[in-house]
Amino acid sequence: MSQISELISIVVPVYREETNIKPFLQRTEKVMEKFNHSYEIIFCLDPSPDNTEQVIMDEIKRNENIRLIRFSRRFGQPAATLAGIHFCKGDACVVIDVDLQDPPELIEKMVEKWKEGYKVVYAKRSSRKGETLPKRIITKYGYRIINRISDVAIPSDTGDFRLMDRVVVDELKKLHESHGFLRGMVAFVGFKQTAIEYDRDERASGVSNYNRYIGSLKIAFNGIVGFSIKPLQLATLLGGIIAFFAFILGFWILLEKLVLNADLTPGLTWTIVLITFLSGVQLLSLGIMGEYVGRIYEEVKQRPLYIVEKTENLGNE
């Protein structure tokens, strides 16, 4: 029997998932037992009003490979995920949700691709069960928009479910971004990457903590604003075009008055429409600039992405 030499870390952000912990572990542990690798499963817990923490603590007593990071308050899934990446010790790190929409069995194929030399193996969704029509539309066209204007190519139909080599993890740890858009950060880091397609299942149980109406929009804004300045350039271009047409309109009015000796073109309605349009453009441009200024403000404050209140079975850090 060959010697176990490599450690695989599995990072699992959790919040209010007491009914999914055990089913997730049953399937994940079964997969990991097939490998000639040691492993660790790191639950990154935003303090929950249910019994999620107690269920994890009970499982730690049963399996010494299970770890727990609990934060001082709810920092959100992106921060929890990055915390797990920061604390993991594996030669490879897998990020996966606990609700079993992303099948743990796919980890086996990810490891095979990793062994072939790929530094990132991300899961690409070929179908999405249990998702609302608005979310599917936003997801379909949102990735197209992001990739058209982003400075890095972010794979479409992907989430955070992926395997990353230690070299990628080490580079991610050097990035200090308050919004933690993982799929964009991994694309920015680069290295040799590949995809594995799969059919995404519905949640195993419980209610999703993901906002089905604005959650995808928030992710899209993070992808656009966090990895491109083209919206700012678009606002400048739009302002230039409108100024040009305003100049043409002013020139035409002057021509009517001085050369054609005609009465000024009447049009109160046209004036109202023009003012309303310009006001909308100005507010849109201010909103775009506000998104960037807000992110600059958050980055300058240099507040920590998360605060750890407690760890269990994590070892000395």
User: How far is it, in rounded angstroms, from Cα 55 to Cα 22?
Assistant: 8
For 192-207, b/e burial (b = at least 16 CB within 10 A) is: ebbbbebebeebeeee
Tell whether pTM > 0.85: no
Lowest mean pLDDT among 5-9, 155-159, 232-236: 232-236
pLDDT for position 163:
92
Q: Comparing 132 with 100, which gets the higher pLDDT?
A: 100
What phi and psi values does residue 44 have, to the nearest 5 degrees? -110, 105
7-228+303-312: CATH class: alpha beta
Whole-number average pLDDT of the chain:
76
Report whether pLDDT(82) > 80: yes
- Residue boundaries of the structural domains of the chain: 7-228+303-312, 230-301
Portion of the chain with pLDDT greater than 70, in percent: 61
109, 183 contact by CB (below 8 A):
no
User: How far is it, in rounded angstroms, from Cα 59 to Cα 46?
Assistant: 18
List pLDDT tens digits, range 207-221: 555 555 555 556 556
User: How far is it, in rounded angstroms, from Cα 52 to Cα 64?
Assistant: 18
User: How far is it, in rounded angstroms, from Cα 99 to Cα 198?
Assistant: 16
Cβ-in-10-Å burial (0-12, 13-18, 19+) of 120 comes to buried
**88-184-83 Cα angle (round to 5):** 25
pLDDT for position 151:
63
